[in-house]
Structure 1
Amino acid sequence: MAGGNAIRGSRVGAGPMGEAERGDSAPRFQVSYYCASGHVTRPSFAAEAQVPESWDCPRCGLPANTDAENPPPPPKITPYKTHLAYVKERRTEAEAAQILEEAVTALRARRASGEIIY
């Protein structure tokens, strides 16, 4: 089945000679990065580029560095805390009981005065 697309299979910008008329590509080198899971990543950098100290592993997402013997440890993940957990960090049980008692007293006083509370 022949399609009507005459440039099928070629790249945009590629001329009749292909990639050769564009010239040589810039000189590059590869750097190996190692993560705590044992993955090795080898991104390519331009010869004059500054190499970063760390790189994120594309397979597991952990940080990686160039030291194969001592890869960086996985970051500590703090568990999700609820609002109640943060309140319990700031208040003791005695303070909570006192605040609750004040709120209940104020609510009863408003009800006794005839105020409509929803």
Structure 2
Amino acid sequence: MVGGNAIRGTRIGAGPSGESERGETAPRRRVSYWCANGHESRPSFAMEAEVPEEWDCPRCGLPAGQDQDNPPAAPRTEPYKTHLAYVKERRSDADGEAILRDALERLRQRRQQV
């Protein structure tokens, strides 16, 4: 079929493409970061931007640093704690028994009133 769609392959509102329409891009610099798995990532930053000490590796998610020979260590992950584990950190067994005793006593009093 001859003639086809004139705007094929573009999105609506895209307008003309090119540097002249969008303006000049800011000068950039690439910085290398290495993670503990040896992955290198090279994000680009504006020349006047402050470069962070660490960057998350896009391949494995570990923190990456600028020193290839001494990358940052992987963060220590805490195991999942249940609600009961958090309660046991704050209260002793004796406190738990006292709270349970008070709650049962209130429940018994309510049942007697009905």
Q: TM-score, normalised by structure 2?
A: 0.72
Take 1:58 and 1:8, find their aligned partners in 2: how far apart are those partners? Answer: 30
What is the alpha-carbon distance in structure 2 between the residues aligned to residue 88 and residue 101 of structure 1?
17
State which structure, 1 or 2, has the greater radius of gyration over its C-alpha atoms: 1
Q: Aligned Cα RMSD in Å?
A: 2.7
User: Shift of the alpha carbon at 1:43?
Assistant: 1.7
Q: Does 2:37 align with 1:4?
A: no
Distance 2:62 2:43 in 1: 15
| Equivalent residue, structure 2, for 1:93 | 93
Compute the displacement of 1:102 (Å): 1.9
Q: Taking every aligned residue pair, what percent have the same amino acid on both sides? A: 56
Query: 2:25, 2:99 → 1: CA distance?
Result: 71
Q: Which runs of 5+ in 2 are unaligned?
A: none
Within-5 A mapping of 1:40-59: 40-59=40-59
Matched residue SS, 2:95? helix
Aligned equivalents of 1:4 and 1:39: distance in 2?
A: 44
Relative to structure 1, is the Cα distance of residues 73 and 99 closer, same or farther in structure 2, using a 3 angstrom cutoff? same
